[in-house]
Chain A
Amino acid sequence: MLSVSGLTKTINGQQILRGVDLQVAETETLVIIGRSGSGKSVMLKHLMGLMSPTSGEVHIEGRQIVGLKERQLLPIRKTVGMMFQGCALFDAMTVEENVAFPLYEAGERDRKVILGKVADALDSVDLTGHEQKLPVNLSGGMKKRVALARVIIARPHCILYDEPTAGLDPVVSDSINHLIRRMQKRFGVTSIVVTHDMKCAAHVADKVAFLHEGQIYFYGAFDALMASRDPLIQDFIEGRSGDTD
C-alpha cells in the first residue's frame, strides 16, 4: 500500500531523516513513535508528497511520488487522507462546510447527498448536532473528530494521523484511540499514526516503528517493543530523560 526506501531529508543543513525504509501493508496500522524532533511529522508529510525528500523513494499504491509535480500529486493525494496535528480546519467554515469540503471539491453538487454523507461522517465520530458551529467554538477533542470526519468522508484508502492525541486529556485521547481503531475496522483503511503517546500506540498499533535521530531504530510488534531491553527504548517507554534535579 505504502512504502518508503532510503528516505533522507536535510533542512537548513540539518539532517532530519537519514535513510528511512518502511513498508505498510494494506489495512495495517503502523504507529511511528519517537521523541519530539526525531522527524516523525516530517516523514508523514513526505508520505503525502507535502514535502520533497533530499533523496529516496516514496510509493503510494505502487506509484512512485517523489519528483512528481504538485498538479500530478493532487489525484494521488485523494486516495490518502491526513489528519493534521493542529486539525487544520478551515476557520471561516462551519463544521458542516468543513466536512462537506472534500465532497464539494470532488464535484458533488446535490445538497441532499452532501448533507446525508456529512451526517453519516459526523455520526461516525459521535459529533451529530454540531453542524453549524465554527471551529473556534469547538474543544480540542471535537476539532480532532471534525478533522477525522473530513478525512473519512472522502473514503481514502489510507489515513495518516499526525499526533492525534496531542494536547488532549486522557479520556478524550482514549476516545480518539477508539475512533482510529473503529475507522480501521469499519472502512478497512490502512493507517499510519505518528505519536509519542504510548497509550495511543498500545491501543491502535499492529506494528510499531521507533524513529530515533532520523532513522528507524526499532520495527516490530508493540509487544516486542515493550519487551525490548534496549536502554534507549526503555527510556522512551518509561519517559526517562536522564536529567537530574
Chain B
Amino acid sequence: MLILRYIGSTALSLFGYLGELLFLMLESARSIATTPIRWRLTLRQVLEVGFRSQLVVLVTGAFTGAVFAAQTYFQFHRLSMETAVGAVVAVSMFRELGPVLTGLMVAGRVGAAMSAEIGTMKVTEQLDALRAMGVHPVDYLVVPRLIAMVISVPILVGECVGIGIAAGQFVAVQLLGVSEVYYVTYMRKFTALRDLDITLTKGFFFGILIVFVACNEGLKTKEGAVGVGQATTNAVVTGSLIILIVNFFLTMVLNIFFPAGV
C-alpha cells in the first residue's frame, strides 16, 4: 500500500512538473506570437549564453575529443584498426558527445545563472514589480532567453564538435602516429551532412529544454535565499537529467530521418 502511494504521488508530481513546463512553453509561444520581441534583451542574452560559454564548451569539446581518440586508439590498435579512429571520433562527436556535453555544460553554467537570477527577482518582489508595471514576466524574462538559447546552443554544439574532432585528430595523428591520410579518409567516409543535421537538431532541442527548466525553477522560487539555492540546484540537476533522457529519444527518432551508415 505504501509503495503504491509512493508511486502514485511520484507520478502525480511528475505530471504536475510536466504540466508546468508545458504551460510555460504555451505562454512563451503565445508571447512570441502576440507581443513584440525585446531584441536588445535578446542580444544581451546571446552575449551571455553564447559568447561567454565559449571557453567552457571549447575546453570540454577539445579534451573529450582528445581522450576519446586516445582510448579508441588504445582499443583499436590491438585489432590493427587504428585507422578507424577518425571515423569513430567524428561520428561520436557529431551524433552524441558534442550535443550532450555542450547541453550539460550549458545547463550547468547558463541554466543555473538563469534560475538564480529569476529566483532572486522573485523573492525580492522584482517579478511583482514587473507585473505591477504591466509587463508579463514571460515576455520580459523567458522569451529573450529562449530566443538566445535557440540561436546560441546549436552554434556552441557545432564549435564543440569541431574542436573535439580537431583535438582527436591531433592526438591520433601527432601523438599516437596514426596515418593522417587514413584518419581523414575514413572520417570523411563515415560522416556526412546528416550528422551535422543531427548535432544541430539536438542542440536546438537542448537549448529549449534548458531555458524552460531553468526559467520554470526561477519563476516558482519560494522562501528567500534557501529557495533560490534550491531552484538553482533543481535547474542544473533536472536540466541535466532531462537532456540525457531526451537525448535517447531524440537519437531513436533522428536515426529514422538521418540513418547512420555509409
Partners in one complex: yes
Of A74, A75, A84, which one neighbours B129 at CB under 8 angstroms?
A: A84
User: Interface of chain A, helix or strand or loop or mixed?
Assistant: mixed
Which of chain A's residues 42-98 have a Cβ closer than 8 Å to chain B?
A: 45, 48, 50, 70-71, 73-75, 77-78, 80-82, 84-86, 88-91
- Whether B131 and A50, one on each chain, are in contact in the complex, defined by CB atoms closer than 8 angstroms, is yes
Of B121, B126, B128, B133, which one neighbours A105 at CB under 8 angstroms?
A: B133
Whole-angstrom distance from the CB of B1 to the nearest CB of chain A? 27
Whole-angstrom distance from the CB of B36 to the nearest CB of chain A? 9
Q: Which of B128, B129, B136 has the most CB of A within 10 A?
A: B129
- Whether B128 and A50, one on each chain, are in contact in the complex, defined by CB atoms closer than 8 angstroms, is yes
Q: Counting CB contacts under 8 A, is B13 at the interface?
A: no
C-alpha gap A77/B129 in the complex (Å): 11
C-alpha gap A98/B134 in the complex (Å): 15
Whole-angstrom distance from the CB of A177 to the nearest CB of chain B? 22
Q: Counting CB contacts under 8 A, is A101 at the interface?
A: yes
Which of chain B's residues 213-239 have a Cβ closer than 8 Å to chain A?
A: none
Q: Please name all residues of chain A whose beta carbon is closer than 8 Å to the beta carbon of B135 when the two chains form the complex.
A: 74, 105
Whole-angstrom distance from the CB of B218 to the nearest CB of chain A? 14
Q: Counting CB contacts under 8 A, is A102 at the interface?
A: yes
C-alpha gap A71/B131 in the complex (Å): 10
- Whether B126 and A77, one on each chain, are in contact in the complex, defined by CB atoms closer than 8 angstroms, is no
Q: Counting CB contacts under 8 A, is A154 at the interface?
A: yes
24 residue pairs A–B, Cβ–Cβ below 8 Å: A45-B128, A48-B131, A48-B132, A50-B132, A70-B131, A75-B134, A77-B132, A78-B134, A80-B132, A82-B132, A84-B125, A84-B132, A86-B124, A88-B126, A88-B128, A89-B129, A90-B121, A90-B126, A90-B129, A91-B124, A91-B126, A101-B133, A105-B133, A154-B133
Interface residues of B (CB under 8 A from A): 121, 124-126, 128-129, 131-136
Instruction: Identify the 5 closest CB pairs spanning chains A and B, nearest first.
Output: A88-B129, A78-B134, A88-B125, A82-B132, A74-B134
